[in-house]
Each structure stands twice: as structure tokens, then as C-alpha cells.
Structure 1
Amino acid sequence: MSHHDERTFVMVKPDGVQRGLIGEIVSRFEDRGLKLVAGKFVQLDEALAKEHYGEHEDKPFFDGLVEFITSGPVFAMVWEGADATRQVRAMVGETDPAESAPGTIRGDFGLDLGHNVIHASDHEDEGANEREIDLFFDDEELVDYDLDTAAWVYEEEDH
């Protein structure tokens, strides 16, 4: 992983999986030039769901979140690239799809706050990425490799 690269956690939620949007979502990040370093198709159990949404435990919508995220399989991923967390969040759009700009994932595929298709680590939450990546992936599941297209995505660095 080069020094300007960052890893970020992304998950296609059960509604995105059921609607057949995994490929479209993966394509958008690939098209942007980001590098997929891990992916896992998984059915979350209640324990993992509660840990994932731990920050919201005291909120009234917590049980609904847990129920929804465990209602079907999800596709968890780790993407790598320059400023990846912020870039992915910008591509994902606002939490409420109704407020998300067309062209963003939620703006293109969502209308409802509860069914917003995708989860991405928050760039404003220090440590969110690491916490969420560790929750879903073991170190050996994160693949370190060179993406041949990187030379065409990034300007060469001065050494």
C-alpha cells in the first residue's frame, strides 16, 4: 500500500443485494480507479450486526437497523485508493437517498432512508474504517497487490 493510499469499508445492504446492485456498485468504484482488496458475501447474525451498529445502541431506531441488516445477505468490501474514505462517501451520497444528488449511488438507486442500499465508513469518524474492516475481515483476507491501471489513475510521484 503506497503512502497516499487509504483503505475504506463498504457494504452493499440487503436491499441492494436483493435488487441486484452488487455488480453496478462494484463497477462504479472500479471505474473511479479504486482498488478492491477484499470482498465477502455474508449473512450477518444479530451479534455482528449489533457490534457493527454499536454507536447507535441507545437510539430508538437501533433495533430496526439490526433487523434490517440481518434480513438478507450483504456484500462487504474493502476498497483502497487515495483519500478513499472521503471519495467513497462522496460517491455514495447522503444518508437519506431523497437528499442525495443524482449520480451518487443512493441518489440513483434509493428513495427511502431505511432502504439506502449501501453502507460506507464515515470519513469524519476517526477509526471507523479500521474498526469496521476488523469486524468483517481477518488480516490475511486483505489482499495486497499492484493494480496495473494505477499508473493511469495517479500522476507519477516525484522521488
Structure 2
Amino acid sequence: MKQPPGPGEVVLGGVDWGRWSVILLKPDCVRRGLTEAVLDRIRREVPVLAQRQMVVEDWQIFVHYWDMLVNKDWFTDRDMVACLRSNYVGEEVVVALAHGSEGIDTSAVVRSLLGHFDPAQAAPGTIRADFGIDALHLAGPQGRLVENLVHASDDATATCRDFGTWYGANEWSLLDLGGQ
């Protein structure tokens, strides 16, 4: 008998979002030609089933980073709205969809591969440590966001939101793996 979702798991529309993670390869990753190298590192641990290159629209980045906007008063050294617009809107990104086995928290697995959001503080062997060339202590005084290559959904709830933001309702077929 299948167990009900545990803490942190979300099942919506028959989708176990805990098994999925949306991965956003940011403009700095795309510009540096690192998208396949980053995805290859992730593929070693979890299958990446879909990916697409796209240009970011204004609404997408503000939905995606709503938490930074809600808490923007904490970021006194930079204008978060301006930073998000200049870093993302009109820029190319690659969005990928990872799917783990049953019982695996795919977002946690992917995020552990990425490392700390500040590449200078990321553990050796993580994606941000190995490929990162920026640091928070450099970005802050310049009033910009740190370039850290990639974002992945924080948890199952964020995966559901991120899927809606980057793929949309017309792409639910990507989540139908025939009962896997």
C-alpha cells in the first residue's frame, strides 16, 4: 500500500513533487557555455528528463524570486528589482527538469550537488565551487547579485511553483512517466 506524503512532500494533481526538481541554469552559466557541464554533473546522480533554452520574461523572474522581493528590505546594499531585471529579463537561460526515484528528495539531492549559493563558500567538488568565478563579497559592494550559475527548487512546494513558472500548465505531459 502506498504511504501518504510525509513532511515536506507535496502531491498535487497526482504528481509527487518531491521526486522532481526544476533546475534553472542562469544567464552567467549560459554565457560561459557551461550548461552541459553542469547538467552532466547533475545527471550523474539524477536523471534530467527535459531541458529547454528560453529568454526570461519580466513576470517569470519576479515569480521565481518572489522571496527576495518580499524580503528586499534586508538587502540594503542593492536594489533587488533592478538587479533581477538587469540580470535576467531578456537573457537566455536553460531550464531543466530532474526526476528522482521514489522515496528520493530530488530537490535536496540536486541542491547538495550545487553547493553553497556563494561560490567562494561552496565545498570543493560541488558545481558552484568547481565552476564558480564570483563571490558574494565581490558582488555586494558592486550592488549586484552574485553570479552562481544555477538554481534548483528548494523543496517540493517550490518545485511545483517553479514548474508552473518555467514550463506552465501546457507542459504537464512532461510529468507523465507512465506510472514510474
The runs of 5 or more residues in structure 2 that have no matched partner are 1-13, 73-78, 137-145
Alignment deviations for residues 64-103 of structure 1 (CA, whole Å, 9 cap, x no partner) = 0232022520000110112211110100011111100121
Query: Equivalent residue for 2:177?
Result: 144
The correspondence for 1:63, drawn from 82, 85, 96, is: 82
**Residues 93-132 of structure 1 mapped to structure 2, 5 A cutoff:** 93-112=115-134, 113=136, 114-123=146-155, 127-132=157-162
Report if the CA contact (8 A) 1:44-1:70 is conserved: yes
The runs of 5 or more residues in structure 1 that have no matched partner are 148-159
Q: Following TM superposition, where does structure 1 have runs of at least 4 consecutive aligned residues deviating by more than 4 angstroms?
A: none
> What is the CA RMSD across the aligned residues, in angstroms?
2.5
Q: Give the secondary-structure state (helix, strand or coil) at the position aligned to 2:42.
A: helix
Distance 1:104 1:145 in 2: 33
Equivalent residue letter for 1:25 = V
Aligned residues: 144
Report if the CA contact (8 A) 2:24-2:152 is conserved: yes
Residue range with higher mean Cα deviation, 19-28 or 50-59: 50-59
**Residues 76-95 of structure 1 mapped to structure 2, 5 A cutoff:** 76-81=95-100, 82-95=104-117
Distance 1:143 1:27, change over 3 A: farther
Distance 1:27 1:16 in 2: 13
Identity %: 29
TM-score, length of structure 1 as denominator length? 0.79
Distance 1:50 1:27 in 2: 28
Equivalent residue letter for 2:27 = P
Instruction: Determine whether 1:13 maps to 2:26.
Output: yes
Distance 1:117 1:25, change over 3 A: same
Distance 1:18 1:146, change over 3 A: farther
Distance 2:34 2:179 in 1: 27
Equivalent residue letter for 2:160 = E
